[in-house]
Amino acid sequence: VNLLLLLEEDFLPDGIVRLTGRRAAHARIVLRIKEGERLRVGKLNGPVGEGRVLRVSSDELRLQVSLTDQAPKRPGVDLLLAMPRPKALKRVLSGAASLGVDRIVLLNAARVEKSYFDSKVIDEGFMRNLLIEGLEQARDTQLPTVFIRNRLKPFVEDELDGFLGPEPSRVLAHPITAARAVPSIAPRRRTAVAIGPEGGWTPFEIDLLTARGFEVASFGVRSLRVEVFVPFVLGWLQAEHQAQTDPPA
């Protein structure tokens, strides 16, 4: 853990932070935190800073915190993901949180196995823990929001435009043989990336999304696992963004 994430309810009225239960035990046993030590902390959906350990006991940890810095800048990316198999979803959630993704919509699609929607991974508390793990890894505090939509067509036709708003570039990632470039993404704009299931989107689904402004784009001909592809795309967008905001001299 590179940052200890604090919740609203961890703050006592005098501003002292008091952790109990699992997190206090983790700090004491795994992180081996001792009185007087300092550690990096952040407030969920808020600023980051430092905490000085006032007291460690078997049942609580008390910190004096000073939250003076902003959480890291975010790439401005939303993901529309065909629901991955549960094992992959776990990695995608913590990975996406560490990469600073804002919103994740888990979608049904023709080639998604229906049983994936019954997985315990999509339990709200379970997902939240995975997301927090990703945030603590990357020293971020902004919890991505996860939406589950098990009917693709109504989501795309009735909800998508309001959901994304007019601003973002809309990109549908599709491995194609002819190496076609990713449509260039204007600097400082938001990007929504739609990523299909293992077997790809069907032609019907591609039509559905392109009718709503998604541009089919190839990020190379390699077919990658979703847990590999998500960071690959984020790296790609980040490099594009940097090239555009900081052009070579």
Distance in angstroms (rounded) separating the CA atoms of residues 213 and 80: 14
Distance in angstroms (rounded) separating the CA atoms of residues 120 and 38: 36
Q: Is 12 in the site for a second copy (CB under 8 A)?
A: no
- Rank residues 155 and 229 by Cβ distance to a second copy and give the closer one: 229
Tell me the closest approach of the beta carbon of residue 69 to a second copy, in angstroms: 10
Distance in angstroms (rounded) separating the CA atoms of residues 226 and 194: 11
Distance in angstroms (rounded) separating the CA atoms of residues 81 and 104: 7
Structure tokens at 92: 């995608």
Tell me the closest approach of the beta carbon of residue 230 to a second copy, in angstroms: 8
Judged by CB under 8 A, the residue of 42, 84, 95, 144 near a second copy is 95
Q: Is 49 in the site for a second copy (CB under 8 A)?
A: no
Judged by CB under 8 A, the residue of 24, 99, 106, 130 near a second copy is 99
Q: Which residues, 6+ apart, have CB-to-CB distance to 165 below 8 Å?
A: none
Tell me the closest approach of the beta carbon of residue 247 to a second copy, in angstroms: 10
CA-wise closest residue to 7 among 38, 53, 45, 57: 45
- Rank residues 99 and 121 by Cβ distance to a second copy and give the closer one: 99
- Which residues ranging from 102 to 161 are in contact with a second copy (CB under 8 A)? 137-140
CA-wise closest residue to 27 among 9, 14, 40: 40
Window of 122-130, 157-165, 201-209, 214-222 that interacts with a second copy by CB under 8 A: 214-222
- Rank residues 87 and 153 by Cβ distance to a second copy and give the closer one: 87
Q: Is 229 in the site for a second copy (CB under 8 A)?
A: yes
Burial readout 195-216 (b: 16 or more C-beta within 10 A, e: otherwise): bbbeebbeeebbebbeeeebeb
Structure tokens at 40: 């990096």
Q: Is 90 in the site for a second copy (CB under 8 A)?
A: no
Size, binding site for a second copy by CB under 8 A? 41
Q: Is 72 in the site for a second copy (CB under 8 A)?
A: yes
Tell me the closest approach of the beta carbon of residue 166 to a second copy, in angstroms: 24
Tell me the closest approach of the beta carbon of residue 131 to a second copy, in angstroms: 14
Tell me the closest approach of the beta carbon of residue 246 to a second copy, in angstroms: 6
**Residue the block writes with tokens 């609580």:** 60
